[in-house]
Structure 1
Amino acid sequence: MEAKNKNLLASQDMATAHLTALVVDDNMMNRKIHQKLLKNAGIQNQGVGNGKEAVDIHCYGQIFDLILMDMDMPIMNGIQATKKLRSMGISSMIVGVSSRSMESEIQQFMEAGLDDYQVKPLTKTKLTSILDKINHNFT
């Protein structure tokens, strides 16, 4: 049983070993927590503080497999940034991560071009669910 669990973990590590992620959140504590979760999952990542920085980093040619996007941020919010990234042809998996729980707000965020939505705080279980979707898309 233990060997089977090790093999399962090893296969998940192999699947995430080459993934990259961008964490977009104006709250530094949330950003650091999400970056640590990603790092612990073996995913190279970096963080930015608002949607404009997320758009700018893509304009400079960086591409990520996963973008964790907060909804409420100064300068450019998550809805605006998601729409802009999609209009630029960015096909990365974009997951909205917000404390918003009203169905209409979540729907508006999803319609901007999200692939998924998770309520903050992001947990290991929620991240595993996101990674399963990414790995499914790669196979």
Structure 2
Amino acid sequence: MLNGKFEVDSKVGQGTTFSFVIPLIRIDLLKGVKSSISNSVSVVNKITLLVVDDESVNVEFFKALFSSTPIDVLYANNGKEALHIYKNNSSIDVVLMDIRMPVMNGVETAQEILRVNPKAKIIAQTAYAMSSDRDKYLELGFAGYISKPIEQEKLICMINLLTE
């Protein structure tokens, strides 16, 4: 059905190895993201947003998501890079912080940013959402919490609230 291949290699007393190959079918996941952006919620203020995410597909998603908004977006691939960008750019209004990242995770990075600026507005974002996560991240000093997959309207509303 998918033109794949499945193999079994079994040796008595040694064990069994199963392998399979499924051909990759490339799909442009971002196709149509720009055109699907809703006009019902718009950015109230011109702001600078720092997006911190180690996954390139997520970065591309955010680029498409914010391309038709007045938001100036800066990107960092890990917490250490985000901290450097934040310290060197006083115009950052909001930080959208992935929680699970290499080098320096989102919680550690947020704590360092909050040491630099106790009034920093940081939104925690994670794909590993648990019902108790929101309260946990708010207690740690995050200004907001959003779980993946991210809904554009919800994110824009949160950014608007934080930048009023």
Q: Same fold by TM (over 0.5)?
A: yes
Unaligned runs of 5+ in 1: 1-8
Matched, 1:63 2:91: yes
Q: Could you tell me whether the CA contact under 8 Å between 1:80 and 1:112 is conserved in 2?
A: no
One-letter code aligned to 2:147: V
- Structure 1 or 2, whichever has the larger Rg, is 2
Post-superposition offset of 1:100 = 1.8
TM-score by length of 2: 0.67
- Deviation, structure 1 residue 22: 0.6
Report the RMSD for the aligned CA atoms in angstroms.
Answer: 2.2
CA contact (8 A) 1:100 1:106 kept: no
Equivalence for 1:110: 138
**Is 1:41 equivalent to 2:75 in the alignment?**
no
Q: What do residues 99-118 of structure 1 show as CA deviations (whole Å, max 9, x unaligned)?
A: 12223444433322111100
Matched residue, 2:8: none
- Bigger proportion of residues as helix: 1
Q: Deviations over 1:62-103 (max 9, x none)?
A: 431111100000010000000110011153321111112223
- In the alignment, does 2:101 pair up with 1:73? yes
Which residue number corresponds to residue 5 of structure 1? Answer: none
Q: Is the 8 A contact 2:113 2:120 kept in 1?
A: no
- 2:128 aligned with 1:100, yes or no? yes
Counterparts in 2 of 1:58 and 1:19: CA distance versus 1, 3 Å: same
Is the CA contact (8 Å cut-off) linking 2:54 and 2:78 kept in structure 1? yes
Task: Identify, as 1 or 2, the structure richer in strand.
Answer: 2
The Cα of 1:45 is off from its aligned counterpart by 0.5
User: CA separation in 2, counterparts of 1:61 and 1:101?
Assistant: 30
**One-letter code of the match for 2:126?**
S
User: TM-score, normalising length from structure 1?
Assistant: 0.77
Aligned residue type for 2:127: S
Percentage of matched positions with identical amino acids: 27
List alignment gaps of at least 5 residues for structure 2.
1-38
The aligned runs of 1:123-134 (5 Å cut-off) are 123-134=151-162
Runs of 4+ aligned structure 1 residues displaced above 3 Å come to 103-108
Q: 2:112 aligns with which of 54, 63, 84?
A: 84
Distance (whole Å) between structure 2 residues aligned to residue 109 and residue 47 of structure 1: 21
